Amino acid sequence: MHSPTLRPLAWSLTVATLASLCPAQNYQFALDPNLSTTSIASSLRLELPGSAIGNHDAVNNPTGTLTCTNLFGACPNTAFDMDAALVGDTDFVGAPSGGFTASVDLQNGLALISNLAVSALGKDPGVGDITLELLYQTFRTQQPNSLFVGGFTLPLPLGQITVDDIVLAQSGGPVPGALVASAVPGVFDFTALVPTSLSFDIDVLGNQSAVGPVPFPLPMVGSLDVRGALPVFTLTVDQKNTQTIPDPAPGQTIDDYVLDVPTILPPGNTAHLLLDLTIGELVFDSLVDLDWSASGTTVCESVSYCSATPNTYSSGAQVMSLGSTSLFLNGFGLMAHGVPPQHAGRFCMGSKQAFTPFGDGNLCVAGTFRRLPVVFSDLGGTALYQLDFGDPSQPSSLITPGSTWNFQLVFRDPIGGPLTFNTSDAIAVTFCP
């Protein structure tokens, strides 16, 4: 059995070895719609180049309006260029939903943000007033007879525009943010800049179009409160932004849109036109005010399973994980204690679980099975191994974000049983990005 004078020394060496591993905790944060608001004040301009023609049809609408570009003579109902633009001012307020994953390392002042996906307004659409601005060449109409002098912009109020499904989704891999201890114990100031893409649906003149995704850098500024049973992120964003989207709805057109235009020379009548428009450049200016509260639940953690049999040093060797389960941080390790001191062993990893007799113990891992390099237990009966996710030659390169792998130590124990080797219990570990 072990010497009691060696155990403290062995554990001191173990602690020193583990100091290099990043003690991060992984959480899934979900926005609380009751405590979170999104406010977006915006102005938009959507270019709609196209053409116009009277709604006259010799068979179906013989009394309809005819258009022509000549000032005198017959009016054969000729199409002409008419560039339009939708101009709107909106003020959207909603309760957001969604969340993100964070690997929180308080010791090193780091929070790694990944998988952010937020519906900015939740289930509430945004509605705003819009005006259609028309720019056209000089044309005249018959039925009614009128002259429209071109070269200037004619504004026509159209009512409302609807913007729905405003979604922010993180682009690329995990992004580090800084955690700085505040004056309140257990509360940390937080800052990060997360690259996201912005997408939304817009209802234009009765035609719904999907816009985006377009780049939208999202500053996350606020605090992390770890005083409770679970952490809470409080985030505040106040950001001005201008987005120019050259082709927000590729290939989409608006055909035969009915437009009634009041006559100018002489006034008092209405010309009935049909517009064929192409959705062009969208310029979107916004003032975004986010007040988000998100509470976290632990994810990507280790769970023990299986059972260990007694060996010559302890009642059973136990394995545990160390450091962060984030592949990006690359600071994950394995530790087994209760191992016969100064004996060789190998941690094994498998994609599935098992429970079958193996040596003088039980084999608890199966499926895709790999043995990690040989390790030796120290004088206190502790064996350590740190994985390297970035080394393609190592079995740990098989581990991907979101996957679960099982780990166990198989170790030599020459006088412990007839088969001279034994096993620890096992852990199942789910890994985060």
Q: Which pLDDT tens digit goes with each residue over 402-416? A: 889 999 999 999 998
Q: Is 281 helix (H, G, I), strand (E, B) or coil?
A: coil
The pLDDT tens digits of the residues spanning 140-199 come to: 999 999 999 988 888 888 777 787 888 889 988 889 999 999 999 999 999 999 999 888
Q: Where in the chain is the domain with CATH 2.60.40?
A: 301-430
SS3 7: helix
Note the pLDDT of residue 163: 79
Using only the alpha carbons of the chain, give its radius of gyration: 34
CATH architecture of 301-430: Sandwich (2.60)
Q: What is the pLDDT of residue 11?
A: 35
pLDDT at residue 300 in the model: 83
**ω into residue 195 within 30 of 0, thus cis?**
no
Q: Rounded to 5 degrees, what are φ and ψ at 329?
A: -70, -25
- Tell me, what's the pLDDT at 425? 95
pTM of the shown model = 0.65
For the chain, which ranges sit under pLDDT 70?
1-23, 204-205
244, 156, 145, 256: which is closest to 206 by C-alpha?
256
Contact between residue 132 and residue 80 where contact means Cβ atoms under 8 Å apart: no
User: Which residues face 370 on adjacent strands?
Assistant: 349
pLDDT confidence of residue 336:
92
